[in-house]
Amino acid sequence: MGRLLKNSEAAKRLGITQGTLRGHADKGIIPVVTLPSGHRRFREADIQRLRQDLGIDPNDDGKGNDQ
């Protein structure tokens, strides 16, 4: 399945707020995995693909570690 990201990490990588990310997930714009506990996780590959589709610089990892 690949690595799963928490809401906060996925939002940071996309440069959006956690609330916006939740809204997009609710609308089906961003795929989400719901754990048995009810917590949401986002597949790292989905977030990377969305970053590419949005034209986000691949060298900007969204973590504040500019290279």
Q: What does the domain layout of the chain look like in residue ranges?
A: 4-53
Q: What is the pLDDT of residue 59?
A: 72
Element (H, E) at 41: strand 40-43
Does residue 57 surpass a pLDDT of 70? yes
Confidence band (pLDDT; 50, 70, 90) for 67?
very low
Confidence band (pLDDT; 50, 70, 90) for 64?
low
Looking at domain 4-53, its CATH architecture is Orthogonal Bundle (1.10)
What is the strand order of the sheet 40-43 is part of?
4-5, 40-43, 33-34
Under 8 Å between Cβ of 14 and 50: yes
pLDDT digits (tens, 9 = 90+) for 7-40: 999 999 999 999 999 999 999 999 999 999 999 9
Q: Which pair of tokens denotes residue 15?
A: 């440069």
Does residue 2 surpass a pLDDT of 90? no
